[in-house]
Structures are given as structure tokens and as C-alpha cells.
């Protein structure tokens, strides 16, 4: 019996084909290592590269440049997906390979593209966290050997794809895998007891770290989304990388003439490492209004500690999201984040940012001009800044002009420059 490959094409139509039975394929990577193709995954993807001859922009040795995008998964629309949405403008006909796909969560710009995903693996998308030990095998199985240029956007395993021996691979890295490197504390139990369960987790993480390091040799050029991530790429992979900040649609946040309201705002994915609880506890202790906007697995936990002065907006509309940023007295950015696109959105709305002094915030906070830092990772430090905060000391025009340097147009221009340099020597 064969296996089924699901290919979602422009306009949403579906093609389905039967693939060959079990096979093993050896691929030669850039550093001359031979890695076994994991046949369990590979047969579900193999025919995709041969069934589609995409007429992509650019040429290599007089022939059309064959380009493919790779993204870890397309199941939520957050910062990484917005970066991908900007990148695909460069090659409008290139397919997007991914491990999991939920069309209902994606904007039209992504839904209308050719999305190549394994039908059987995609049925398990709700359990993708449990499948983490298998994802390196799944990503290596993607049939990318026939492409001249592969552009991956990675915060998990996408950078580990195997490309052809003469192909070029540019990887835009949002973060090395946080949960196996320096942010494990946000994914393991606080007490960190070496129980049988945690022993198994650490054993899995150890093997994932080995794969994460070895697979980076298949990347020709790394691009980091912040100085913080750039330093982590150097520390964990021993590789230099370029620096291009993520794109933000700054124009849609242009402030209106209406006066500011009296609330502080924290917004984004409700996950542990973003530390929304610091903002909730600090504002409650001072009797200040706080609006929490976004969605995520920590919503219930945050609601438990929130009192009447805290207002939740879960999955607000785009118009409401913009309005919340425009009217906020200040935006609170309490976690150590890879970059911070929401903070740039706040600046584009003329709203200053109060951020923890670490991570991506070091790239965009100019104390007294675009925001303020609190220097200790605790409620008391944040309270001290909130007590003395005076929004009238910040120039709305300066904030708006500063945010323009993170525009989508600027991002595309910088990426084009990187791709031109990478392709100078030509591809197979």
C-alpha cells in the first residue's frame, strides 16, 4: 500500500496522490555528512518536489530559480507567521513546506499559497508538543533536493532541512529552541526535581541539542531577528549571523487625535516566558488599570491572579487590537523575548514601552525616548517604574518615526540584499 500526500494549492484546492512504499534515501549535506533519511516520514513527502515545477523569480545559470520556503508549523498566526507572510512576497510562486497546518488560523496571504504538508502527520497537529522528539526526522524528510534556494524561518526544527548539494539555504532564526537551551525553566516544573519524568525529558533534550548543533551546518547563511538571538546563535551553534529586525505593519498603528486612556497594556501570546503575571501583579498592587490582550495556554492561570482592575481581551479583532495600542498610557513588555514586535507596534501607535532590561528589548528601547527599563525580574522593580511613570514626557512623533525603521518595506529590502549576496556564486 502507498501513503497519502496532501498538497494545498493556490485558491485552496487540494491535490492528493499515492506515494511509493517504504524507502531509504541518503542525502549529502553541505559539511559532507551523510544522514539517513527517516523513511517513516519521508515517503509522505517524496513526490512533492517532482510533481510541481514552480516558475520562481530569478535564474541560475540561465534556468528558472527553484525556490521553496520552510516554516516549522502554521497553526497560529503570531510573529513568526507575520515574518513568513512578508518573506513570501519575494517569490510569489514558491511553495511553503511545513509540518502542521491549520488553514482557519491563517490569513488569506498564506492560505492562498501552495502549502505542502503530510496529511497523516497533520492530523496530529494538536499533539505537536508531544511529537517534539520526532520532528527532526520529519523536517529532514522534506523533499527539497531539487530546489536551488531554500528559505527557512525557524524557532524549532525548520533550519534542519536537508537541501541539495549545490543549493543555497538561508535561515531566518526567531530563536534557537528555547525549551532545550537557555529557557528550560519556563517549560519544566519550578522545583526541577530529577524525577523519572524529568529524567526522560532531559534525556530527550540532550539528544535534541546534539541534533540542533549538528544540523546547523546545512545552513549557508543565518539571519537573526535581534542582537539577543544573534548572540545565542553564536553561543549554541558557533556561527556568525546577519541581523535583520522583523517586519511590522507600522502604518496601520498610526495614532489618532483622541487622547490617551488611563490603562496600561500587555499583549501577545499568553505563554509563561512572556511574564504577563508581573504586569498583572504590579498594576494590581498600585491600583492601576491593566488591559491584557491576546490568547494562549496561560489564559486561565492569568485570570486566576487577576482582580477587577484587570480587563481581558481575548483574540480581539484587528481594529480593536490597534485601538488598544493607540489609547494605552504605556505598553508593558515584562519578559525576556527574542525580539518584540508588539513593542514596536506600541511605538508605531505613539505609545511608550516599559520593558525588562534584557533580550530583544535592548535593540529598541532608548531610555527616556522610546520607553523605560526596569532592571530586575520581579514585581517590585516594575512597580518602581510604574509609580514614577509620566507619559507626557515622551514625544509621540519621535515614537512613530522611530518605529518606521522596522517597516515591512525596510525588512524586504534587507532580505533582498542578503539573498543577492548569497546567490552571487550561483546555485546548481
pLDDT tens digits for range 238-271: 999 999 999 999 999 999 867 899 999 999 999 9
- Answer whether residue 219 shows pLDDT above 60: yes
Res. 302 pLDDT band, cuts 50 70 90: very high
User: What local confidence, expressed as pLDDT, does residue 60 receive?
Assistant: 55
CB 331 within 8 A of CB 353: yes
Residue from 121, 109, 97 nearest 49 by CA: 97
Q: What is the mean pLDDT of residues 273-297?
A: 96
Exposed, middle or buried by CB within 10 Å (0-12, 13-18, 19+), for 427? buried
Q: Which segment of 33-37, 166-170, 237-241 scores lowest on mean pLDDT? A: 33-37
Mean pLDDT over 137-150 rounds to 96
- DSSP state letters, 362-398: GGT--BTTTEEEE-SSSHHHHHHHHHT--GGGS-HHH
Of 197, 367, 356, 188, give the one whose Cα is nearest residue 266.
356
Other beta carbons within 10 angstroms of residue 68's beta carbon come to 29
CATH architecture, range 3-247+409-423:
3-Layer(aba) Sandwich (3.40)
How much is the pLDDT for 129?
85
List, in sequence order, every residue forming a beta bridge with 333; answer none if it has no partner. 355
User: Under a CB-based contact definition with an 8 Å cutoff, are residues 258 and 396 in contact?
Assistant: no
- Of all residues in the chain, what percent carry a pLDDT higher than 90? 74
Residue 180 CB partners (closer than 8 Å, separation 6+): 205, 208, 209, 212
What is residue 180's predicted lDDT score, i.e. its pLDDT? 82
The mean pLDDT of 1-5, rounded to a whole number, is 44
178, pLDDT greater than 60: yes
| Low-confidence winner among 59-63, 287-291, 298-302, 361-365 (lowest mean pLDDT) | 59-63
Under DSSP, the state recorded for 11 is G
Q: Which residue has the higher pLDDT, 41 or 425?
A: 425
**Would the pLDDT of 48 be above 60?**
no
Q: What is the pLDDT of residues 361-419, one digit of tens each?
A: 999 999 999 999 999 999 999 999 999 999 999 999 999 999 999 999 999 999 999 99
**pLDDT band, very low/low/confident/very high, at 160 (cuts 50, 70, 90):** very high
Q: Which three cell numbers stand for residue 105?
A: 488560523
C-alpha–C-alpha distance, residues 35 and 382, integer Å: 49
Give the N- to C-terminal CA distance of the chain in Å, as an integer: 35
Distance CA 142, CA 147 (A): 11
Superfamily of domain 250-406: Glycogen Phosphorylase B; (3.40.50.2000)
Domain boundary assignment for the chain: 3-247+409-423, 250-406
Please tell me the pTM assigned to this model: 0.82
Amino acid at each position: 500500500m502507498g501513503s497519502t500526500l496532501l498538497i494545498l494549492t493556490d485558491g485552496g484546492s487540494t491535490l492528493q496522490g499515492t506515494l511509493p512504499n517504504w524507502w531509504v534515501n541518503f542525502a549529502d549535506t553541505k559539511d559532507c555528512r551523510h544522514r539517513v533519511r527517516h523513511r517513516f516520514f519521508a515517503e509522505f513527502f517524496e513526490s512533492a518536489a517532482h510533481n510541481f515545477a514552480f516558475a520562481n523569480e530569478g535564474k541560475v545559470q540561465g534556468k528558472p530559480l527553484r525556490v521553496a520556503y520552510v516554516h516549522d508549523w502554521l497553526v497560529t498566526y503570531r510573529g513568526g507567521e507575520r515574518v513568513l507572510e512578508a518573506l513570501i512576497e519575494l517569490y510569489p510562486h514558491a511553495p511553503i513546506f511545513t509540518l502542521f497546518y491549520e488553514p482557519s488560523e491563517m490569513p488569506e496571504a498564506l492560505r492562498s499559497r501552495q502549502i505542502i504538508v503530510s496529511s497523516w502527520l497533520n492530523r496530529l497537529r494538536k499533539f505537536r508538543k508531544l511529537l517534539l522528539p520526532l520532528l527532526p526526522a520529519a523536517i529532514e524528510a522534506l523533499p527539497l533536493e531539487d530546489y536551488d534556494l531554500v528559505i527557512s524561518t525557524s524557532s524549532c526544527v525548520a533550519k534542519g532541512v536537508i537541501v541539495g548539494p549545490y543549493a543555497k539555504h538561508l535561515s531566518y532564526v526567531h530563536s534557537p529552541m528555547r525549551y532545550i537551551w537557555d529557557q528550560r525553566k519556563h517549560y519544566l516544573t519550578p522545583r526541577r526535581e530529577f524525577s523519572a519524568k524529568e529524567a526522560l525529558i532531559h534525556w530527550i533534550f540532550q539528544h535534541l541539542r546534539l541534533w540542533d548543533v549538528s544540523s546547523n551546518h546545512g545552513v549557508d547563511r543565518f539571519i537573526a531577528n535581534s542582537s539577543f538571538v544573534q548572540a545565542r546563535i553564536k553561543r549554541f551553534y558557533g556561527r556568525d549571523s546577519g541581523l535583520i529586525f522583523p517586519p511590522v505593519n507600522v502604518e496601520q498603528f498610526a495614532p489618532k487625535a483622541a487622547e490617551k486612556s488611563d490603562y496600561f497594556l500587555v499583549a501577545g501570546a499568553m505563554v509563561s516566558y512572556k511574564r504577563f503575571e508581573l504586569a498583572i501583579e504590579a498594576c494590581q498592587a498600585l491600583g492601576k488599570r491593566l488591559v491584557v490582550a491576546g490568547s494562549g495556554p496561560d489564559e486561565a492561570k492569568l485570570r486566576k491572579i487577576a482582580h477587577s482592575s484587570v480587563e481581558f481581551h481575548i483574540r480581539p479583532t484587528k481594529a480593536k487590537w490597534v485601538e488598544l495600542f493607540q489609547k494605552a498610557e504605556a505598553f508593558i513588555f515584562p519578559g525576556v523575548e527574542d525580539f518584540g514586535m508588539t513593542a514596536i507596534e506600541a511605538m508605531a501607535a505613539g505609545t511608550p514601552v516599559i520593558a525588562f532590561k534584557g533580550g530583544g528589548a535592548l535593540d529598541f528601547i532608548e531610555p527616556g525616548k522610546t520607553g523605560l527599563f526596569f532592571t530586575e525580574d520581579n514585581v517590585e522593580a516594575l512597580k518602581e517604574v510604574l509609580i514614577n511613570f509620566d507619559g507626557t514626557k515622551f514625544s509621540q512623533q519621535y515614537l512613530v518615526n522611530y518605529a518606521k525603521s522596522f517597516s515591512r518595506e525596510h525588512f524586504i529590502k534587507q532580505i533582498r540584499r542578503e539573498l543577492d549576496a548569497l546567490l552571487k556564486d550561483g546555485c546548481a
